[in-house]
Amino acid sequence: MADLDPAVQNELRTLPEGLAEIVGRHLAAADAALVEGNTALAREHIAAAKRRAGRVAAVREACGIAAYLDGDYAEAIAELRAVRRMSGSQEYVPMMADCERGLGRPRRALELLKEVDLRNVDEATRVEVALVAAGARADLGQVEAALVVLQAPDLARLPQGGPRARLQYAYAELLSQAGRDDEAVDWLARAAESDIDGVTDAAERLEELTGLVFTEEWEEEQGN
């Protein structure tokens, strides 16, 4: 159980000691399976944990996330709704909205996102809200509106790292959909530069599109 997040450990301490240990081992095994990309095995371990501790929010959260990663959006949204009821947190509303997109319901996704009070959530949640909202707009064929969503001033001030890279990558994708290919390449390069954590394939995509290997001097090489 020591391998689990401290917040999860605290929740498991509400269970009898022996049960807490069993559930903790299942959750730790599920985490390891997800790292290896084995969502099926992860879901087996999480299901075993849920049978024993289905009223623990951390267990239901694990169920929802694993289902989402496995593309089982109906199961994911049901579990994440339960987490929201149990914890009152808005953290997983963007993931729930993305599940609505996955189920072919982009308008429901946008309605759900309206429930998030952006003044009272952290930066990571604001980024997820923007990405899902833009995706839902694009699903509806509203590509220009989707671009506007990602132009929010507070998001433009993000430091280098995964969140900024993902926003820039999504912006590049939307520009490509809008037929603005030169701008798309420019924003893909920005995403590659921002992606110091390696969360996107921006550098690889840039090389595919331009035949040039991304370096920190990429813009100078392009004469910008």
DSSP three-state, residue 121: coil
Read off the pLDDT of residues 13-68 as tens digits, 9 standing for 90 and up.
Answer: 999 989 999 999 999 999 999 999 999 999 999 999 999 999 999 999 999 999 99
Please report where in the chains the tokens 């917040």 appear, as a residue. Answer: 7
Band of residue 224 on the pLDDT scale cut at 50, 70, 90: very low
Nearest CA to 127 out of 199, 57, 178 is that of: 199
Q: Mind listing the pLDDT tens digit for each residue in 55-90?
A: 999 999 999 999 999 999 999 999 999 999 998 888
195, two tokens = 């992606």
Residue type, 5: D
The pLDDT tens digits of the residues spanning 85-140 come to: 998 888 899 999 999 999 999 999 999 999 999 888 888 899 999 999 999 999 99
CATH architecture of the domain covering 1-88? Alpha Horseshoe (1.25)
The number of C-alpha atoms within 13 Å of 72 and in the hemisphere containing its C-beta is 14
The pTM is what?
Answer: 0.88
Residues 6+ apart with CB under 8 A from 186: none
What are the structure tokens assigned to 67, written together? Answer: 């289902």
Angle between helix 93-102 and helix 73-87 axes, rounded to 10 deg: 160
Asked whether the predicted pLDDT for residue 156 surpasses 90, the reply is: no
Tokens of 189: 């390069």
Helix (H, G, I), strand (E, B) or coil at 118: helix
